[in-house]
């Protein structure tokens, strides 16, 4: 964070040639503001990440204490929120989205940790000083950390939101998954709308 240029602009909505023509600002750790000031430049990202993480973990904690693992369907003890559409269940997902890579928890944990490290190192290229990018990556990072903690503590991700659309049953998910999906989708939309 020490050599992040202080600018409200980012690749999201910024002309690429303008980025390439900017000269990097190099500062030693003691120059250009304290570590706290540099950290505060990312306060929206950090606040959203913390918010998603806390809500995710609190909802999973409630689910784990309210329903036994494996609870699914009304006959099995699921809580109907809107009958025929929205149920609260308790499922353990040992894989990624839609249970892909089931049984690869260690690989998925390393992938999640690597993603967080990559976001940190490429924060300038990702334009994380800009508020729209901070919103997207705050949601993404909060979700990644929430699911990573599940893998480390439980050996699987706790999923509990179960949606039905007629005969189609959407894969069960959680708050962290929602943060990840919304963050990625909004960032992609903003990136596609950015001028060349």
Q: Which residues are catalytic?
A: 159, 177
Give, in order, the Cα–Cα distances in Å from 54 to each of 26, 67, 82, 94: 35, 20, 25, 21
Nearest to 190 by CA among 14, 8, 18: 14
Q: Which two tokens stand for residue 2?
A: 């020490």
Measured between alpha carbons, how far is 66 from 48 in angstroms, rounded to an integer? 27
Measured between alpha carbons, how far is 97 from 152 in angstroms, rounded to an integer? 17
- The answer to whether the beta carbons of residues 152 and 113 sit under 8 Å apart is no
Nearest to 182 by CA among 149, 148, 140: 140
Residue 80 DSSP label: E
Residue recorded with tokens 């060349």: 196
């Amino acid at each position: 964070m020490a050599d992040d240029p202080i600018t409200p602009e980012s690749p999201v909505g910024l002309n690429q040639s303008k980025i390439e023509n900017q000269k990097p600002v190099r500062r030693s750790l003691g120059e250009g503001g304290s570590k706290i000031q540099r950290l505060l430049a990312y306060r929206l990202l950090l606040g959203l990440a913390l918010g998603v993480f806390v809500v995710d973990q609190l909802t999973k904690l409630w689910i784990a204490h309210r329903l036994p693992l494996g609870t699914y369907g009304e006959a099995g003890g699921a809580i109907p929120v809107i009958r025929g559409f929205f149920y609260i269940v308790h499922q353990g997902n040992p894989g990624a989205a839609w249970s892909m890579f089931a049984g690869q928890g260690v690989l998925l944990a390393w992938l999640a940790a690597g993603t967080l490290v990559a976001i940190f190192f490429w924060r300038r290229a990702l334009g994380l000083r800009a508020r729209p990018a901070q919103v997207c990556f705050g949601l993404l990072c909060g979700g990644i950390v929430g699911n990573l903690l599940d893998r480390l503590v439980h050996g699987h991700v706790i999923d509990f939101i179960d949606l039905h659309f007629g005969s189609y049953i959407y894969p069960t998910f959680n708050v962290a998954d929602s943060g990840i999906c919304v963050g990625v989708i909004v960032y992609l939309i903003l990136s596609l709308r950015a001028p060349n």
